[in-house]
Chain A
């Protein structure tokens, strides 16, 4: 999946544990763990809203797009150079 969730990074920046976040946003630890490990297939706007509110960040801080083909091409160029 080219979209990844940087929840762990934001949590480190905010010095917050996953358990604390789960209590604040009302999500189970299991669901947050799915989100953190990039196993989720979709994310609800309501979830994103709660996460951004509690972590005081923008959706762009939590989500990141990386094109796999672009990344592979970059790696090839680096290897050749």
Chain B
């Protein structure tokens, strides 16, 4: 590996280190804040903020909200609808678990991202050492692929369940809100791509082994 590539691998490693430390601090503070919030909230009327992703209208996959409107001119408005509208519902609550459950997906999602960064860092370390084609790296790449594949399904499902629980507790008047279910196609496709890449990498490991044992 030439010097330029080695330097760029080191820069990536430093960037991953910084992301891991900052992300770790953020995750710990988030957990601490969530765990300490019942102490702050109990016995007083102090309310805490909560955020939940919502869809406007009824139906989960493609929610529709019918609106009424009048128009003039050469064309007449037949119907007016908001289709697939996504939004964010911010609320204040004195109930601790309602405040907690809203942040659970963020807590789990951040942990998964930190874990992926940790695995990536390990791969970059082997790249800087000049021996990236190892069986351990195949396992690591495959793990990232599976995590993305599972994350692309599980996180939207968790967000849907959390939004369902919270919306069950909040009475919204004047607007119909639904728990959204957005499968993350990009993440799932990325996961599949990485799994294919892991298989190609496995072939590279075999070639490397053959090459190093050819005298």
Contacts and interface: CB of A to CB of B under 8 A. Distances in A.
Answer whether A and B are interacting partners. Answer: yes
Contacts of A31: 215
Contacts of B209: 41
B215 to A, nearest CB: 5
A27 interface: yes
5 contacts: A31-B215, A32-B215, A34-B213, A40-B215, A42-B215
A44 interface: yes
A10 interface: no
Interface of A: 27, 31-32, 34-35, 39-44, 47
B2 interface: no
Interface residues of B, number: 5
Contacts of B213: 34, 39-42
Contacts of B210: 41-42
B44 interface: no
Given A40-B213, A41-B210, A44-B214, 5 more contacts: A31-B215, A39-B213, A40-B214, A40-B215, A41-B214
Nearest to A35: B215
A40 to B, nearest CB: 5
Closest 5 CB pairs of A and B: A41-B213, A42-B214, A40-B215, A35-B215, A31-B215
Contacts of A34: 213, 215
Contacts of A47: 215
A27 B214 CA distance: 12
A40 B215 CA distance: 7
A74 B210 CA distance: 32
Contacts of B214: 40-44
A15 to B, nearest CB: 23
Interface in B173-215: 209-210, 213-215
A42 B210 CA distance: 8
A35 to B, nearest CB: 5
Contacts of A39: 213
A35 B215 CA distance: 7
A47 B210 CA distance: 16
A60 to B, nearest CB: 18
B159 to A, nearest CB: 51
Most A-side CB within 10 Å, residue of B210, B214, B215: B215
Contacts of A27: 215
B94 to A, nearest CB: 70
Contacts of A40: 213-215
